[in-house]
Structure 1
Amino acid sequence: MASNGSKRPGFSRRARFGLFAGYVVAITGALVGAGLVLIAIFDPQGFSAIRGGVSDVTAPISSTGRGAVQSGGRIDDYVGNWWNAGRQNAELRAELETARRELIEARATEQENRRLRELLNLIEGETETLATARLVNSSLTSARRMATLFAGRNQGVMSGQPVRAADGLVGRILDSGRHASRVLLLTDRSNIVPVRLTRDGTPAFTTGRGDGTLEVRSLEAGRNPFEQGDILVTSGTGGIYPPGVPVAVISEVFGDSALATPLANPASLDFAIVQPAYEPPVEETETPEEDETAGTGAGPGFSETP
C-alpha cells in the first residue's frame, strides 16, 4: 500500500512537542505583552517598577557584552597599529633624514654667510684692497705649502703682496700671472713673518714647519715669553705684512721656542683679499740749525756799536 506523501506533525512525537511548545511560547508572549500594555495604561508606577527590575537584571549582561565589544575593538586597534608600525617607522625615518639634511644645509649656509659678513667688514675697514678673489686650491701634503688665488696682474696683484682673510693672515704672493697667482702660505718653511704677542708686545718671528703648524721664536735671547693660548699678530717690522693682522695662537711651549696654529686655514677658506705691500714709515731725524748769531752776542734786530 502506498504511503501518503503529506504527513501531519502528529505522526512525529518530536514535531508534535515542538509545535506545542511554539504555541505555548507565542501565547505566553502575547499574554505577557498584553498584560504589560494594560499595566502601563492603568498603573504607570507599577510599570516603572517592572521596567526598573528588568533593567537591574539585564544591566550586568549588557555591561559584560559592552566590555567584550570594547575589548574586541581595542584588540582590533592594536592589531592595526602593529600592522602599520613598519610603514609608519619607515615614513618617520625618511622624514628624519630629510630634516637632518635640511639642518646640515642650513648650518652650512649660516657658516658661509658668517664668513662673507666677516670678509665684508674686513674689506670695508681696509682703505687699500687690491683684489678680492677665491682661493682655488691649497697644497696639504707636498713639501712646499702653496695656494692658488684666482686673481693676477690684471687685478693689480704682484709678487710680495700680503694675502689675508677674515680669520687672519694667509701668506704672501709668490708670483702672479694674468688671471691667477701663487700664494706662499704661512706654513711653508721659507716663509718668515715678524710678529708680536698681543699680551705684552714681545717681538718674535714665525717660521713654517711644512706640516700645517708654525714655529715661534722670540727676539729676546735668554728667556721664553710664550704661554699656551697667546695670540700672535704681525708687527710690521721689515715691511710686506701690515701690523696688527692676526697670525696664530700658541698651542705648545717647549725650550726656547713654541708651536703655534695659524688662525686662517687655507683648506677651509673660500675668499681672500690682497693688499699692497706694507712700507714702514721712515723716521725723520731733526738736524740742529746753525745759529747765525752764535758767537756775536747779539740777537736779531740789534747791531753792535763800536
Structure 2
Amino acid sequence: MAPPSRRPGHSRKAQYGLFTGYVIAGIGALIGAALLAISLLEPAAFGGLRGVSIDVTSPVSRTTARAREGGQGLIETVRGYLRAGSQNAALKREVELARIRLAAAQSLKQENARLKGLLGLGNSDVEPVAITHMLGSSGSSARRFGYIGAGRDRGVTPGMPVRTARGVVGRVLETSFTTSRVLLLTDSQSVLPVRLADRDVIAFAQGRGDGRIDIRLINLGLNPLKRGDMFVTSGAGGFFQPGLPVALVEQLTDDGAIARIVSDPAAADFVAVEPLYQPVLTKAARTPVDQPLPGSQTGEEGGDAPSAE
C-alpha cells in the first residue's frame, strides 16, 4: 500500500495557503526566539509592556478579586454561623452539666447537714445504735410502716425508737438481719405518751392513718391547747427519751387536737435508731426490801434493833 501524499493536490489556492502557514510559523518562531533572547539578556526591556498589560487588565482583575473576596466572605459567614451553632450547643450542654453538678452539690450539702444533725441528735447524750437510710414508707393504706437499712447485724431490736434530726419517726416493730420494719407515729395502732413543750399538759398521741395524729388529753375539761403548740415525748413508758419533738397542733378538738408530725418519714433520708429509754432509778428504789437500810443495827452487832413506834 502506497503512503498517503501530503501534497495539497493541484489546487494553487491550497498550495499558497499551506506555504503562507509555513511562512507565518517561521516568522513567529523567529520573533519568539528574538523575544526570548531579549528577555534573557535584558530582563527590564519588557517592563513597560508588562505595565501596560497590567493597566489594561486591572479592571478585570479588580472585579475578579471583589468577587473572590465576596465569595470568601460568604463562605466565612456560613462557617461562622455553623461554628456559632455548634458553640451554642456546646455552651448549652456545659450550662446543663453545671446545673446538674450544682444540684448534686446542693443535695450533698443538705445530706451532710442532715447527717450532722443526726450525729448531734439535738445535743443528746444518748449514742445511737445505728444511723442508716430510710428505705421507704407506706403512704396509701391505713397502716403506716417504714423500712430502714439496719437490722440485727447492727444491734437493732424491736421497740427501739427511730428518729431524725427533726424529731420522732416511730419505733422498730420487726427486725431481720439487715433491715427492720418501723411502726410510724401516724399508724392507727401507734400510741405515744407526750406533753406540751412549754407547759405541764400530759396527753397521748395516736395515729390517724392519714399522715396526722390525734392528741388526746389526760385531764378533760377546758382545752388549754392552741394552734402551733409543740408536743414532745414525756418519757413515760420507757421507749423514748423525754423532750423529743413529736408534733405541732393544727386543729383543736373537744378532747385535744389534731396535730402534724414534725418529722415526715417520706422526706427523711437518714434516721437514727436509739436504745430503749431506761429511767434512772433512785437508790431507795434499787434497795431490796429485805436488805437493811444504812445506819440500822442488827441484834448480833449492836443489840436488838429499835422497835418501831
Q: Fold conserved (TM > 0.5)?
A: yes
- 8 A contact 1:235–1:244 mirrored in 2: yes
Name the counterpart of 2:103. 104
Question: How many angstroms apart in 2 are the aligned matches of 1:269 and 1:242?
Answer: 20
Question: How many angstroms apart in 1 are the aligned matches of 2:189 and 2:245?
Answer: 20
Q: Deviations over 1:235-258 (max 9, x none)?
A: 011221111111111122233321
Gaps of 5+ in 1: 1-78, 296-306
Is the alpha carbon distance of 1:143 and 1:93 closer, same or farther for their aligned partners in structure 2, counting shifts above 3 Å? same
Name the counterpart of 1:280. 279
Q: Secondary structure at the match of 2:248?
A: strand
Question: How many angstroms apart in 2 are the aligned matches of 1:265 and 1:202?
Answer: 24
Question: How many angstroms apart in 1 are the aligned matches of 2:148 and 2:100?
Answer: 31
Name the counterpart of 1:122. 121
After TM superposition, give the deviation of residue 223 of structure 1 in Å: 1.9
Name the counterpart of 2:3. none
Name the counterpart of 2:13. none
Question: How many angstroms apart in 2 are the aligned matches of 1:99 and 1:121?
Answer: 32
Question: How many angstroms apart in 2 are the aligned matches of 1:100 and 1:225?
Answer: 50
Question: How many angstroms apart in 2 are the aligned matches of 1:293 and 1:106?
Answer: 77
Q: Secondary structure at the match of 1:106?
A: helix
Name the counterpart of 1:292. 306
Q: Secondary structure at the match of 1:237?
A: coil
Q: Secondary structure at the match of 1:154?
A: helix
Paired letter, 2:101: E
Name the counterpart of 2:195. 196
Name the counterpart of 2:174. 175
After TM superposition, give the deviation of residue 96 of structure 1 in Å: 4.8
After TM superposition, give the deviation of residue 94 of structure 1 in Å: 4.9
Is the alpha carbon distance of 1:123 and 1:177 closer, same or farther for their aligned partners in structure 2, counting shifts above 3 Å? farther
Name the counterpart of 1:205. 204
Name the counterpart of 2:253. 254
Name the counterpart of 2:132. 133
Paired letter, 2:204: F
After TM superposition, give the deviation of residue 174 of structure 1 in Å: 0.8
- 8 A contact 1:137–1:148 mirrored in 2: yes
Name the counterpart of 2:10. none
Paired letter, 1:260: A
Is the alpha carbon distance of 1:294 and 1:176 closer, same or farther for their aligned partners in structure 2, counting shifts above 3 Å? closer
Is the alpha carbon distance of 1:198 and 1:96 closer, same or farther for their aligned partners in structure 2, counting shifts above 3 Å? same
Name the counterpart of 2:228. 229
Paired letter, 2:183: L
Q: CA-atom RMSD, angstroms?
A: 3.4
- 8 A contact 2:195–2:203 mirrored in 1: yes
After TM superposition, give the deviation of residue 93 of structure 1 in Å: 5.2
- 8 A contact 1:238–1:280 mirrored in 2: no
After TM superposition, give the deviation of residue 185 of structure 1 in Å: 0.5
- 8 A contact 1:192–1:208 mirrored in 2: yes
After TM superposition, give the deviation of residue 90 of structure 1 in Å: 6.0
Is the alpha carbon distance of 1:254 and 1:127 closer, same or farther for their aligned partners in structure 2, counting shifts above 3 Å? closer
Paired letter, 2:136: N
Paired letter, 1:132: I
Is the alpha carbon distance of 1:123 and 1:224 closer, same or farther for their aligned partners in structure 2, counting shifts above 3 Å? closer
Name the counterpart of 1:185. 184
Is the alpha carbon distance of 1:236 and 1:93 closer, same or farther for their aligned partners in structure 2, counting shifts above 3 Å? same
Question: How many angstroms apart in 2 are the aligned matches of 1:282 and 1:125?
Answer: 20
TM-score of the superposition, structure 2-length normalised?
A: 0.61
Q: Secondary structure at the match of 1:142?
A: coil
Question: How many angstroms apart in 1 are the aligned matches of 2:308 and 2:196?
Answer: 50
- 8 A contact 2:160–2:275 mirrored in 1: yes
Name the counterpart of 1:144. 143
Is the alpha carbon distance of 1:294 and 1:223 closer, same or farther for their aligned partners in structure 2, counting shifts above 3 Å? closer
Q: Secondary structure at the match of 1:173?
A: strand
Name the counterpart of 1:243. 242
Question: How many angstroms apart in 2 are the aligned matches of 1:177 and 1:123?
Answer: 29
After TM superposition, give the deviation of residue 141 of structure 1 in Å: 1.0
- 8 A contact 1:123–1:129 mirrored in 2: no
Q: Secondary structure at the match of 2:141?
A: coil
